[in-house]
Structure 1
Amino acid sequence: MNTITTLNDLAQLPDSELVACLSGIRAAIHKAKQAHAKAQAEGKAPPPVHLPAYVWRPRPSSLRKPRPDMPIDDLGMRISISFALKELGIVYLEDLAEVDEEELLSHDAIGVRTVARLRDPLQQAGLGFRRPTSHHAASLFPHP
C-alpha cells in the first residue's frame, strides 16, 4: 500500500504499477467531481473538490512475476494498447515472443516506448521478441 501525495510518490512506483495507479487516481477524481456536480444540481452548496492524497493498493496481478501464459490485460498497459495488441492476435505474453518489434510498430497505436515497456515483462518471463525476419539483423531498440 502506498499513499500518493506528490509526483515524487508516483515516480517511486514500479512501471508495472504506474498505469494502474494513475487509473485509480483518475477514478477518484472523477468520483469527487460527480459528487460535486450532484450537490450543485440539487441546489446545495457543493464542497470544494479536495483530494489531498490517494492510497494505492496494487492488485495482486500487478505484483506477480510475469509468466508466459499471463494475459496482456494484466500488464497494466493502456486500454488502447491492449486493444491494438489483440488486433495483432496477441492475447498472452507468450504471443509477444512470436512477433518482432517491427511488426508491433506497424500498428498505429504502438510506438517505440510501448515496445520498450513490453520488453521488460517478456524478459522477466524468460522470453524475448522474435528476431527480425527482414534484412535488419539488429534490434530497433537498444536493450538495457
Structure 2
Amino acid sequence: MSEAGPVEGQAAPAFSMPASGGRTVSLDGLKGAPFLLYFYPKADTPGCTKQACGIQEALPQLGKLGLTVIGVSPDKLPPIEKFAAKFGLEFPLASDEGHTVAEAYGVWVGKSMYGKKYMGMERSSFLVDAEGKVAKVWRKLKPEAHAAEVLKAAQVL
C-alpha cells in the first residue's frame, strides 16, 4: 500500500470494526460481495448528515445491485448509534476510534481549520468489488452528489 492508501485495482486492506445496531463489520464478512466503505469526519454534522441521508435514500437501488454500504468515522459507538437512530440509517456505521482502518486506507490526514492544524478523517469512499479489489476511489468528495456517483459506479461492477 502506498502512503495514500489503496488505489484502484489493489486489494482492499483488511478491517474489523464495531458498528451500529450491535453489528461488527469486517472485510472477511463481506467476501464475495461488493461493498462501499465510506469515511466521514463526524456523526451528526451537516455534511456528514447530507451524505448519510443521500446514501440511505439510494439504499434500495444499491441493494438491488447487491452492494453493502458501511460508513466509518472516528466517533465512539454511542454518538454513532444516536446519529443512525436520528436519521433512520439502516446501513452499518462503524467506529474506527483508533483510526487504524482510516490509516490503512490513507484517509487519516492533516487538516486545518481557522489556522489550527490537526489530524482528522478525510471524506473519502472506496468501492470494493466481490473479489475484494478496490474498483473506485473518491477522495475529498462532495456529500450531496456522492450517492448518485456510487450508484453509477456500482452498476458496472
Calculate the TM-score normalised by the size of structure 2: 0.23
Answer 1 or 2: which has greater strand percent. Answer: 2
Calculate the TM-score normalised by the size of structure 1: 0.25
Name the larger-Rg structure.
Answer: 1
